[in-house]
Structure formats: C-alpha cells, structure tokens
A and B are shown apart, each in its own frame.
Chain A
C-alpha cells in the first residue's frame, strides 16, 4: 500500500461516524484537561484509558491521541492567562504569553498559540508519514538483539538527556523494569514477585499504575495551590486578531519550532517538553533584539507551541513503527494499543493499515477540529479557569477509582491505586520522575523477551550484541551516554569539593 492509497484508506477509517465522534470527544476532553492547571496529558490519558475498553480499537486510539494533542492546545491557555502552565509542555509559553496578556494582548497570544500549534501538528504529520514508512522498512531487518539494545538505549537516553540527576532517573527506570517483571513469567510460567497474591498473577495493572503515579499524586499536590489563582481576563473574538507586525514575525518562528519539534519528538528520550524549551532558546538566540523576550514577544509563544505540537505527533513514529515509545505518554499509548490487541512494530503498517492510516488522518482532522472549534470556544475555556479546584478534585478522585475498577472489575486494583498513589507522591516529593518509572514498566517485558531470544540465538554468548552491526551501534551509543553523564557527575563532584 503506497502513501496515497494509505491516506485515502485512512480517510475511510477516520471519517467513520463512531471514530469521528470519539475524535471530537478526545480533542475536546484533551483541551478541557489541558486548560485546567495541574492535570496534564499523562493523567488525562490514564483517566480515559479504561473508558476506551468499551469502544473499537481505532476509535480508542484516535480518541487518546486527540486527548494528547488537545491537551497541548489547552495547556497554553492557562499559561498565557494565569502564568500557570496547564501542562508541562506549555510551561515555557508562560514566559512571553503572560506578559502579552498583561499588555492586553491575551487574545493575540491565544490566537498565535493555536495557529502555531496547528501548523506544528501538520508538519509533524508529514514527518510521521515520511519517517514511518522508511523506518518500518528498515526495522524488518532488526533482530531480537537489535531490539533489546535499542530499547536499552531509549531508556538510558530518556533518563540521562536533560536530567539533572541521571542516577535518580535511572533508578526510576530500573524500578519500573522490576515492577514490569511482576507476574507470571511468559517462558516458564513461574510466579515472580507476586508474594503469593493471586491478584498479582497477571502483573501490575498498567492503568492502576499510571493513575496512582500521575492522577493521585497530581491531585494531592494541587489541592493546596488551588485557591490562589487570580481571575482571568475576558477575551472576546475581536481581540484575537493579530497585528500585521505579529503576522510577519510568526511564520519563521513556527517553521523553526516545527522542525525542532518533529526532530526531537521522533528521537527516543526527548519529547515535546524539551522541544518547546529548545525552540524558545533558539528564537531568543537568533532574534535581532533578544531583550524583547520575556516582555511579550510573539515568537516566544509561536515557536514553542509549534514545537510541542509537532513533537507530540512525531513521537508516534518510533511508537508505531518500532513498538518503542520515546516518552512516557507514548508508553501509555503503546500500552493502550497492546490492550486493544494491536502489536505496534514494523509489521503494523502492513498488518493493520486501518489502524495506522486511520490514526494519521485523524490527527489531521482532529487538529482542524481543534482550530475551528477553539477559536470560537475560547471564551468557554477561559471561563472554565474560574471553576474552583475544590469542586473538581473530589470528582476526579471518584473517576479515578471507577476508571480503574472498570478495567477488570476488581476492587483490588482500586486499593492498589491508593498504595501506588502514596508511593508516587513520596517519589515526586523526593524529586524522582515517576514518568520514567512508567516507561521502564512498559518496556520491561519487551526488553526481557528480546534479550532472552537474543541469548538463545547467540547460544548464551553476550558478544552477539556486538557482532550485529545495528545492535553494536546502539550498545556503543548507550555506553557513551552513560560515560558522558558519569563524567558530568564527576566534574560537579570535583567542583563542589574544590569550592
């Protein structure tokens, strides 16, 4: 199936009434959750994941994808109006978005963020189509050893790049890997780490883990801050119109942001948050008058917003073609695919073209809906910021419980959420990154399976990882990353003891 046929086929899936309804539902829910400060796409997707058991796999994935990029749109609203990032990806937007709002240009900032988000997503989709085809042809040559090596590289990259304390990040990944190995061992049927609990034979429930780590911990952390926010300004449609000067400044920033975003989104370990920060740094570096940044420069809104949206789309490249999630949100998506009986990987394009192309086309449709819907609805989103958190969070707590319960009708899983939530809150307080734990949890069983297969093929000789050229490259890159972060830690240690 070539690209044109694929896209046409995708339209036939994405325009199915049920898929279309869930696409709209997903983007609206995503924007809603993104607008609310403190609840990110991660919590949103884990909240909605159980609900997707009741719908077809195509509709489910389309909806979850919609939640993800919808949250990126919504996150900017709170960033601009209240200087409270709705999602981590839009944290950088506060730097120039909020000053613009203070100058009475909130509408323009919102317009810029939405149009840039839309352009970024469209460019991300093109990158996804081009790269996915190419990568999945490449990936059919991958053996078990190559997969194992690549996933290890992905995990190491995710925890060392952009992390201030790589050891803490790696510890989270390893803890996730261990949690992932709980349950019945696939090869031998032996019970591992279940401590005799029959409820744990199937392993730890992904939804319970994700909700406990993200939903619960985020709710607890936000109760105290909830009442402090000021009331956002009114924004009318007329205020959305940018000046000619704004229009002149935006395209360059959007193009650069999208390029950065789609590149870093497709790499394992770097995601939309990092892309948005890089884009902001780039815009400031190349600006003729860098002192405008922080004072309400429209490029500082347009660039990062384009970057985080294109990264959100291109992050699907490794997830769908290799079956390897680049960031924790993609890990959750991968989990959702597997739950729905779709095994992502190089064969997915051939085996489930409806899924792949349907998803790609739905990204386009969903983003268009967001643009058309959000410009007129902006007043509603703004007024939603006035709902006090004390009304919302008890409802969220109940939805978390029922969501987990609905997965397999088990009250044990609800209790598990309470335990995991407590642990997750402690970890977050000690500045561990629970997102990496989830990444390790999802990748753990995949790594173990491929590792064992590779050892079987290589007759127990670990040199098999260096003899295959593809895996050798990954192994060398992994070692280099670890060496680099050890070197960094050593230098920090030296400078501290010297001082």
Chain B
C-alpha cells in the first residue's frame, strides 16, 4: 500500500519533468495531472505510514500462470501459429488449478484450440497463421 503510494508519487514526478520540458501547449495537461497524482500519492502514503498494510493476500502462482499464458500468446502467435500457442497457453494457464492430473488439461487444451480455430479463424475470418511457418 505505502509502496504503491510512493511509487505513484515518484512516477508522477518523472511525468512532471517530461511535461515541463515542453511548452505550455501539449505538456500542460500532463504536468498538472502529474502534480495532482504526486499530491494524492502523498495523501495516501503518509497516513498509511504507521498503519499495517491493507494488502489482500496474493495468489502468486495463479497470477504468474495467467500472465505467462498471455505473454506466450503475445510472443508466439505470429511465429508459432494459432494452434500451438492456444494449446500452450491453456496448459500454462491451467497449471495452478486445484485439480491434479494431466488428462483433463490436455483434453481441455484440445477442445479450446478447436473452438478458437472455429470461432476466430473460420467464423470471423481473422488473418493469422494457424501453424508454424516451416521453410520449404
């Protein structure tokens, strides 16, 4: 909580610099906002200084798995194609699910891959590779 307040304040100081280098024109609005955010960040951070944080418990494995799945999708879609990235993303995302075992994950990955191919490639005619480009 405090860390975020401080981060927000510092961040907006950085904004302030960027803004004030420019003329009144395009920089004006960000400068005012940066200053406002810095003030608010302090208003949040200062009273929170001597209190216990308000943080809720983190779900770290769940967060990492979901974010990694999305990251894989972003990086892999162009090179690996729709089918492999979808299946891979589903497998990664399902890692932290409470139920153990591999069989249901593989079945799920297969079902979702077919579904996305039907909806996005066949249904909506989106342009993207389905399989990786093998040279030759």
Contact = CB atoms under 8 A, between A and B. Distances in A.
A292 B70 CA distance: 48
26 contacts: A51-B124, A168-B44, A178-B15, A185-B25, A193-B18, A216-B67, A216-B70, A220-B59, A221-B59, A223-B66, A223-B97, A224-B98, A390-B97, A398-B90, A398-B116, A405-B128, A413-B74, A414-B73, A414-B74, A415-B70, A415-B74, A417-B70, A417-B74, A418-B67, A421-B66, A430-B1
Interface in A264-297: none
Contacts of B1: 430-431
Contacts of B103: none
A181 B33 contact: yes
A429 interface: yes
CB-based closest 9 A-B pairs: A414-B74, A415-B74, A390-B97, A185-B26, A401-B73, A171-B40, A418-B70, A394-B90, A394-B93
Given A220-B66, A411-B74, A422-B63, A397 B33 contact: no
A451 interface: yes
B124 A54 contact: yes
A330 interface: no
A224 B115 contact: no
A398 B44 contact: no
Given A188-B25, A190-B22, A220 B112 contact: no
A170 B40 contact: yes
Interface in A380-431: 388, 390-391, 393-395, 397-402, 405-406, 409, 411-415, 417-418, 421-422, 425-427, 429-431
B27 to A, nearest CB: 8
Given A216-B70, A223-B62, A414-B77, A178 B34 contact: yes
For the residues of B in contact with A, the DSSP-based class is helix
A224 B62 contact: yes
Interface in A32-54: 51, 54
Contacts, number: 164
A430 B41 CA distance: 13
How many residues of A sit at the interface, in one of the four size bands?
35 or more
Interface residues of B, number: 58
A398 B94 CA distance: 12
Interface of B: 1, 4, 8, 12, 15, 18, 22, 25-27, 29-30, 33-34, 36-37, 40-41, 43-44, 47, 54-56, 58-59, 62-63, 66-67, 69-71, 73-75, 77-78, 86, 89-90, 93-94, 96-99, 104, 108-109, 112, 115-116, 120, 124, 126-128
A2 interface: no
B66 A216 contact: yes
Interface of A: 51, 54, 165, 167-168, 170-171, 174-175, 177-178, 181, 185, 187-188, 190, 192-193, 216, 219-221, 223-224, 226-227, 388, 390-391, 393-395, 397-402, 405-406, 409, 411-415, 417-418, 421-422, 425-427, 429-432, 448, 451-452, 493
A426 B69 CA distance: 18
A190 B59 contact: no
Contact of B56 (A406, A417, A429): A429
B125 to A, nearest CB: 8
Given A171-B37, A405-B126, A425-B63, 5 more contacts: A178-B37, A192-B18, A395-B90, A430-B54, A431-B54
A397 B96 contact: no
A415 B26 contact: no
A185 B96 CA distance: 43
A397 B26 contact: no
Contact of A402 (B30, B33, B67, B116): B116
B104 to A, nearest CB: 8
A441 to B, nearest CB: 12
A223 B90 contact: no
A373 B4 CA distance: 47
A424 B15 CA distance: 20
B59 A171 contact: no
Given A395-B90, A406-B124, A414 B70 contact: yes
Nearest to B60: A220
Contacts of A168: 44
Given A406-B120, A406-B124, A411-B78, A398 B89 contact: yes
